[in-house]
Structure formats: C-alpha cells, structure tokens
Amino acid sequence: MQSQEETSWMKLPSQLQHEFFRDAEKEAEKVKKGLTRRLQKLDTFKKLVKSNAIPKDDEWKKLRIAAVDGSNSPATSERLGVRYGAYAAGYMIFEGSKVIDEGYRSGSFSQDQITDRDVAQKTLSLLRMGLERDVALHCLEEDIDYVLIDGSFFGFRAEAIAINDREIGIEGYEDGKELTREVAEKSWNLMKSRKVAGVIKRTRTSVIDGWITKEYGNTNACMNMNDKYIMTYLLPIGYWFDFGTLIEKRFYHNYYARFRTIYRQIVEREKKQLSIEEIFDKTMNDFEHSTHRLLGLTSKLIRPSARYFTRCSASPPFEFEVHEDVDIMPLLSYFMSFHNPATGLPWPIDLIDANVSVPRGFTKEFVDEVQARLLHDPEMSDKLKLMEFFSYLNPQKEEE
C-alpha cells in the first residue's frame, strides 16, 4: 500500500517528478553541509550550558493540576456576504493521573467581507486566547495547585501588530487595540497569581544567539538556530535548564530574544558605530516602548516572568514560563513523572489539546447550520437572496 507522500508525488507529471527528485538531492546536500557546521558550533557551546537533573518523587500524585487549551478554525469561511470563524477553549483538572473535572466553552465571530483576511485570522486567534484565559481564570477559583496554559503569557505580539490600529468589526470591540489589551490584562492576572505555567510548544526565540552576540561583540559565533533546536542537542533526558544561569536576570530573556536582530540592523545594515552596551540599551528601550504600545502594559508588570527548558523524553524539550517567585521543583517533578513519551509534553496538555481541537471543515458546517436555520425562518421571505448571501466567494472551490 502506498504512503500518502508517494501517492501525492505520483499524481504529478513524470517530468515534474524527476525535477523534484533533483531538487530533493540538492537540498539534502545543502542540509548536510549546514548541519555539520551547526553541530561543530554546538559542541563548542555545550560546556557553557549548565543543566540540572529533574528531581524525582511521588509528590506529583498529590497535585491537582488544571490544563487549559483552545483552538480556532485554521481558516475563516469566506462567503459573498460575510466571513465567519469559530473557536473553542476547555479545561481538564487532574488529581495525580486521574481526571476529576472538565469543561468547555465555544465562540464564533463574523465580519464584513471587506475587512482584511489576515486581520480576520489574527482577530480570531486573539478571541480564542481571550477565551482560554477566561477558562484559566475560572480554574484558579477551584481547589488546584497549578494551571497549565498553552503558550507564553504575552506571546501575541504578532496579533497585536496586525490588528491594534484596525477596525475589526466585532461586537464589544471598536478596534483591535481594545481586544489586545483585554487579553493582556487577563494574561497579567494569570501570571501574578503565581499558580500558572505557560507550556510553550513552539519556541521560536533566539535568546542564546542574543547572548552570544553580546558576549562576543559580533554575530560570527551565533548558532543561527532557535533556542528549542539548541536545547534539543544540549539538554539530556531528565534535565532542565534555567536561563538565569546564562543571562544577568531571568527577565532579560525578553531583551536577549531580540538583541541579535537589533544588532544586525544597527551594525551590519546601517553601519553605525555603537558599543555593545549602547545597542543593548536600545534593545531594552525598544522592548519597553513596544510592550506599552502593543499591550498597554508597562514592562514592570511583566518583569517577573521567567523561562526554563525541560526534557522529559527522547522527544525535543519544551520551554515553560512562570512568575519568577514560583517554586518550579514540583512542576519539574510532575512533568517528568506524568508526560507523553511521544511528545515529551505533560499528559494533561496533550489530552486537552486533543479534546478541544476544532476539526478542519467545522467552520463550513457551522456556517451551513446558520444558513439552514435562516432558510427555515418564516420571517426570511426572500430565500434566493439568502442563498446568494451565503454563496462561496470562489465558486470553483468548495471550502474544506
């Protein structure tokens, strides 16, 4: 039986198949050379990373842990008259390895078709994050020890950049800034509770390359890799890493994550002659200003955030974020004792993720249900106009 990859490949004309085989060969050679250089750099950096063994005990079985996650439709439903999106969030509360409670909430939104599609998708993501934080705040009212949420507390800057200065046409919000700042305030309330940990599955930051740039005064020694890739190579199974052992203060991960980019802009592109400390000061100021402009918060409010990496299985490690005052030893022990070996993530995060995922094609069915209800509404007399309103924007392709 052919695999999905083979089937897809064989659908192409034979000449195009051979072209792609040649492209694959070239890419493999390029990756081999690049990977060899990367591994050499990683070996030289390995001695600078101080990791610690994760403590092992049975205390995790006494913990009551709530896991919160959400999802939204991967694409909005595009009709002639309106654009729709759907989102959901839920929680599961565990006592040890046993589920003792769970709950789910849903939401949907619609926008005029004239609004920007990317703005619509970013708005949908922020609505989902807001609902996730509502669910997490609800969990804090229960008798729990920790709440695990998906992602970092303030990891929605891209969404803020896209929608803050735009009218989003959503009931309850005049513009994107109102929605962004509401999500930011909820996020701050979660962090300051000192009972919430953000489990970051998709680390894309380059704190380590930022540190290397500042330490060496240039970018020559940089790994050109994100932190998760570096930690996958350097962190043994059963160990954890504290950024506070590498940088001056744990909060400075926010500065180092963008330092290399700003260094390159100032020194390598603009050719300005500034000292490393002057560039770092500019990086700090940039973060301070953007935090207030995008999130409506002062950096003082989010300063207590601290990030760590932990590796529980042969799968890549994951990063997590907590208030700096949180004792992470019980969490580390919990992660190590109760994780999915296939992903390396805590079982509660994997399970709630599976339960709450909005399936592909659901938004189309949701819109079809709205249309069906209107077609059966006796007050909607002009059924033809109603059908036109819900026609596909592209009549040649039905939505998935």
Q: Which residues contact 395 (CB under 8 A, 6 or more apart)?
A: none
Residue 125 has pLDDT above 90, yes or no: yes
Question: Per-residue DSSP letters for 154-170?
Answer: T--HHHHHHHTTS---B
Q: Which DSSP helix (H) or strand (E) runs through 352?
A: helix 347-356
Taking the C-alpha atoms of residue 395 and residue 400, their distance in angstroms, rounded to an integer, is 13
pTM of the full structure:
0.86
Confidence of residue 387 (pLDDT cuts 50, 70, 90): low
Amino acid found at 79:
R
Confidence of residue 395 (pLDDT cuts 50, 70, 90): very low
67 - beta bridge partners? 92, 148
What per-residue confidence (pLDDT) applies to 396? Answer: 39
101 - beta bridge partners? 93
Taking the C-alpha atoms of residue 152 and residue 197, their distance in angstroms, rounded to an integer, is 8
Domain borders along the chain are 53-205+222-249+299-356, 360-389
Amino acid found at 132:
E
- Annotate 161-196 with b (16+ C-beta within 10 A) or e (fewer): ebbbebebbbeebeebbebbbbbbebbbebbeeebb
Say if domain 53-205+222-249+299-356 classifies as CATH 1.20.1050: no
Confidence of residue 398 (pLDDT cuts 50, 70, 90): low
Taking the C-alpha atoms of residue 275 and residue 8, their distance in angstroms, rounded to an integer, is 53
Q: How far is CA 136 from the centre of its chain?
A: 16
